[in-house]
């Protein structure tokens, strides 16, 4: 069973502190779980959406999801990805019911993307000297296997994990309940409203803001730099043999190419897209055709299946909206009135692979608040 790193938390306070976590996505659930493992905290989770819901603006169920580090060396995202990997690897090893499993991974880095802005979002992932080369198992770079693909400069190989949100999100919620987290479904007008929703009936000492896309409209936060970035995928019932990522596409920076097989019969995800100015929740048939074409061109197993059957067994077309923030994730504390707030939102498409490290940071802030002075009660 996963244990929170002892080094990630400050010393426990002498008496229970009342915490409300707002948000039922992977960031909110992971944060609530990490906090709940400290017996000095009494944690309530408040959320508009919870596992099992299917709103396109409830981002986490629509994710792939996997661990592919996109961050540049030395950034805060680098640290978050690095420090989240051990938790995900432990779950893949010890807890198959989480829907997390190891997969061999191949990244294709195209020559044109090494100098083209198309690869800018993925520059850390497709570096010939990535920081994660000593983190992920079986890492190697191969310049020899692409002789028949002149557009590819090199391939990167390693073992990573794929996450099935349909299994993992309910598991997170179940773990929260097991560790005493009380869950309430509610829609908030103002972030301070959450302080009144603690299950004890007392005003919470700390509110943790994990509202994702909601941070753009939630009063008391109203972060105008949070924008929904549309992602479209296809879920098929075919085994790709490995997880695949490509550095770019000829259709431009808003169209991506990736393939991953979910655990537990969750199908194979073909992606994808990254549209900032498109709010359409319905799948685009033209985009779906391009996604399929690109994925098949890089995945021999899918190409063979398509040749044999004339089609792939399509389970669904899926659209979700990533909670992207211009300056990157906001993980910091502030005080509004008499209430301590810790923000943990804006993770874009990388919430799963930064979730535990960001939760550890939140836990440190909560305990630093408790150690510095008594927390206010209204």
Whole-angstrom distance, CA of residue 173 vs CA of residue 30: 9
Q: How far is CA 28 from each of CA 20, 101, 119, 138, 196, rounded to the nearest angstrom?
A: 10, 22, 30, 32, 18
64, 267 Cβ separation under 8 angstroms = no
- CA 364 to chain centroid, in Å, comes to 21
Q: Which residue has the tokens 């299946």?
A: 305
The response to whether 349 counts as a known ligand-binding position is yes
- Residue 258, marked binder: yes
Element (H, E) at 212: none
SS3 330: strand
Q: Cite the DSSP H helix spans in 95-225.
A: 165-178
93 known ligand binder: no
Q: Is 322 annotated as a binding residue?
A: yes
Decide: 332 and 355 in contact? Cβ < 8 Å.
Answer: no
**Could you check whether the bond before residue 366 is cis, i.e. omega within 30 degrees of 0?**
no
Distance CA 146, CA 128 (A): 15
Q: Give the whole-angstrom CA distance, residue 9 versus residue 7.
A: 6
311 assigned ligand-binding residue: no
User: How far is Cα 108 from Cα 152, in angstroms, rounded to an integer?
Assistant: 6
141 three-class SS:
strand
CA 63-334-367 angle, to 5 degrees, is 85
Residue 155 annotated as lining a ligand binding site: no
Rounded CA gap, 109 and 119, in Å? 9
Give Cα separations from 183 to 29, 72, 81, 166, 186 (angstroms).
10, 36, 28, 19, 10
Residues contributing to the annotated binding site for D-dopa: 258, 322, 349
Residues contributing to the annotated binding site for FAD: 59-60, 211
Residues contributing to the annotated binding site: 59-60, 211, 258, 322, 349
């Amino acid at each position: 069973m996963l244990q929170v790193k002892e080094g990630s938390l400050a010393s426990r306070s002498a008496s229970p502190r009342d915490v409300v976590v707002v948000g039922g996505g992977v960031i909110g659930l992971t944060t609530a779980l990490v906090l709940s493992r400290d017996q000095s905290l009494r944690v309530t989770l408040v959320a508009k959406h919870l596992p099992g819901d299917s709103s396109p603006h409830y981002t986490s169920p629509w994710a792939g999801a996997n661990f592919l580090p996109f961050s540049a060396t030395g950034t805060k995202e680098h640290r978050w990805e690095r420090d989240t990997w051990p938790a995900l690897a432990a779950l893949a090893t010890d807890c198959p019911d989480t829907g997390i499993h190891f997969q061999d991974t191949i990244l294709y880095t195209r020559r044109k993307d090494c100098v083209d802005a198309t690869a800018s979002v993925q520059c850390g992932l497709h570096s010939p000297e990535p920081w994660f080369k000593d983190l992920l198992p079986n890492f190697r770079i191969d310049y020899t296997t692409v002789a028949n693909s002149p557009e590819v400069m090199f391939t990167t190989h390693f073992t990573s994990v794929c996450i099935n949100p349909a299994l993992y999100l309910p598991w997170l919620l179940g773990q929260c309940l097991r560790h005493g987290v009380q869950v309430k479904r509610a829609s908030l007008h103002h972030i301070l409203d959450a302080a009144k929703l603690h299950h004890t009936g007392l005003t919470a000492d700390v509110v943790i803001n994990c509202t994702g896309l909601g941070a753009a409209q939630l009063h008391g936060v109203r972060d105008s730099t949070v924008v929904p970035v549309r992602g479209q995928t296809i879920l098929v019932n075919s085994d790709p043999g490995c997880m695949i990522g490509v550095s770019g596409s000829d259709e431009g920076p808003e169209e991506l190419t990736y393939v991953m097989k979910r655990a537990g019969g969750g199908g194979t995800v073909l992606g994808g897209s990254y549209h900032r100015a498109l709010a359409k929740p319905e799948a685009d048939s033209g985009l779906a055709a391009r996604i399929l074409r690109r994925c098949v061109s890089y995945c021999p197993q899918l190409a063979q299946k398509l040749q044999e059957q004339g089609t792939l067994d399509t389970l669904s077309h899926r659209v979700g909206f990533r909670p992207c923030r211009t300056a990157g994730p906001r993980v910091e504390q502030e005080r509004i009135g008499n209430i301590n707030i810790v923000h943990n939102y804006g993770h874009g498409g990388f919430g799963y692979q930064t979730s535990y490290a960001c939760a550890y940071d939140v836990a440190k802030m909560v305990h630093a608040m408790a150690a510095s002075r008594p927390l206010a009660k209204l």
